[in-house]
Amino acid sequence: MIRKQVFGRTGHLSTVTIFGAAALGRVSQAEADRTLDVLLEYGVNHIDTAASYGDAELRIGPWMDRYRRDFFLATKTGERTYAAAKEQIHRSLERLRVDQIDLIQLHALVHPDEWDTAMGPGGALEAAIEAKEQGLVRFIGVTGHGLTIAAMHRRSLQRYDFDSVLLPYNFVLMQNAKYAADFEALLKICAERNVAVQTIKSITRGPWATADRTAATWYQPLEDQTDIDKAVHWVLGRPGIFLNTVGDIHLLPKVLDAASRFQTRPSDEEMRQVVAEERMSPLFA
C-alpha cells in the first residue's frame, strides 16, 4: 500500500501518488476498469483528470457510480473565459457522473496573455469561484508545464488563494538553477498557506527522439523498474509534495510499485548515474 498525507488545506488524506488520468485518454472501458483494479490494489484514493484528456472523464464516470466516496476527484478546465469555463465544468460533471467535483483546476495557465484573460473580469476564475459557491466544486487549483510555471504559480497565488498547484518536478529539471530557485520560492509560499503541491513528469527520460514511440506519454519515459524506482523515490523524498502518476496504463503499475516500496531518497550521485546510463535530458528547453 502507498502512504497517505493531508492534501493541503482540503483536509483529505490522499495517497502521496495521485492517479494521473491522462493515461485513460485513449483506452477502452475494459482497459480502464482493469486500471481501476490496480489503483484499488495499491490503495490510491485520489484521481486527477481533465476535460482535455480525451475520453478520460468518460472512462472514470462508471467508476463513480460505485466508488465515488473512495476517491478525491479532481478535473481541469483549459478554457479561459467565464462562459466557456462554466460550460466545460458542467460538462465535466456530466461526463464524470457526479454532482460535485472535489477540485477544479485552471489548466496549463502559463502564457501571460491567457493568464490575464483567465484571471481577469469575465475570466475562467470567475466560473470556478461561482461553481464553488454553488457547491458544484469544493476547491480550486491551478496547473501548468514549462520552465516558467513555478514563477507563474506564484503570480497566480498573488491573484487568488488557490488550494493547490501542479507543476513538473524531477531530478534533471531541478538541475536548472533558475527553475530550482523558482520552485523553492513557490514551495515556501505553499507551505506558509497550506497549499497542496502536486508534481508531474517524475519518470521523464527526455523528449521523444524517434517517431517509434513505445508509450502513450508525450515525453519519453524511463521504463526499467530499477530506474523508475530511483526517479519515483527521489520525488517522494521531498517532504509534503505529491507525485501524479504516468500517462500510460502499462507503466502505471511500475510507478505504483515503486511508490509502495519507498523508504529513502536516492543520493544525487545515484541519480547522476541514472542520468548518464539512460542518457536523460531536459524535457523543457
Domain CATH number, residue 122: 3.20.20.100
Mean pLDDT of the chain: 97
The answer to the question of residue 142 being in a domain is yes
Q: Residue 75: which residues within 8 A CB-CB, separation 6 or more?
A: 48, 49, 50, 51, 57, 92, 96, 101, 103, 104, 105
Q: How confident is the model at residue 214, as a pLDDT? A: 87
Q: How confident is the model at residue 146, as a pLDDT? A: 97
- Give the helix ranges, DSSP H, for the chain: 29-42, 56-67, 82-96, 112-119, 124-133, 149-159, 177-193, 225-236, 252-260, 268-278
pLDDT tens readout for residues 18-38 = 999 999 999 999 999 999 999
Burial class of 284 by CB neighbour count within 10 A (0 to 12, 13 to 18, 19+): middle
Q: How confident is the model at residue 176, as a pLDDT? A: 98
Look at residue 253 and tell me whether its pLDDT is greater than 90. Answer: yes
Q: How confident is the model at residue 246, as a pLDDT? A: 97
Q: Judge contact between 142 and 156, C-beta under 8 A.
A: yes
**What is the residue range of 110's domain?**
4-278
Look at residue 210 and tell me whether its pLDDT is greater than 80. Answer: no
Cell numbers 491522462 label which residue? 22
The answer to the question of residue 283 being in a domain is no
Q: How confident is the model at residue 175, as a pLDDT? A: 98
The answer to the question of residue 284 being in a domain is no
Q: Distance between CA 239 and CA 16 in Å, rounded?
A: 10
The answer to the question of residue 254 being in a domain is yes
pLDDT tens readout for residues 176-205 = 999 999 999 999 999 999 999 999 999 999
Is residue 108 within a helix (H) or strand (E), and if so which, with residue range?
none
Q: Residue 149: which residues within 8 A CB-CB, separation 6 or more?
A: 110, 167, 168
The answer to the question of residue 62 being in a domain is yes
Selected residue with higher pLDDT from 230 and 214: 230
Query: Hey, how many other C-beta atoms are within 10 angstroms of the C-beta on 135?
Result: 9
pLDDT tens readout for residues 261-275 = 999 999 999 999 999
Q: Judge contact between 50 and 39, C-beta under 8 A.
A: no
Cell numbers 498525507 label which residue? 5
Q: Judge contact between 150 and 183, C-beta under 8 A.
A: yes
* Domain count across the chain: 1
The answer to the question of residue 285 being in a domain is no
Q: How confident is the model at residue 285, as a pLDDT? A: 82
- The grid coordinates of residue 78 equal 483549459
Q: Distance between CA 230 and CA 12 in Å, rounded?
A: 27
Query: If you average pLDDT over residues 240-257, what whole number do you get?
Result: 98
pLDDT tens readout for residues 102-159 = 999 999 999 999 999 999 999 999 999 999 999 999 999 999 999 999 999 999 999 9
- The grid coordinates of residue 129 equal 469561484
Q: How confident is the model at residue 222, as a pLDDT? A: 98
Rounded to 5 degrees, φ, ψ at 75 are: -140, -175
Query: Hey, how many other C-beta atoms are within 10 angstroms of the C-beta on 122?
Result: 13
Cell numbers 513555478 label which residue? 150
Please work out, in degrees rounded to the nearest 5, the angle formed at the alpha carbon of residue 179 by the alpha carbons of 174 and 182: 120
The answer to the question of residue 30 being in a domain is yes
Q: How confident is the model at residue 227, as a pLDDT? A: 98
The answer to the question of residue 47 being in a domain is yes
Query: If you average pLDDT over residues 146-174, what whole number do you get?
Result: 98
Q: Percent helix, strand and coil across the chain, each rounded to 5?
A: 45, 20, 35
Q: Residue 35: which residues within 8 A CB-CB, separation 6 or more?
A: 23, 24, 27, 249, 252
Closest alpha carbon to 32 in 52, 59, 9: 59
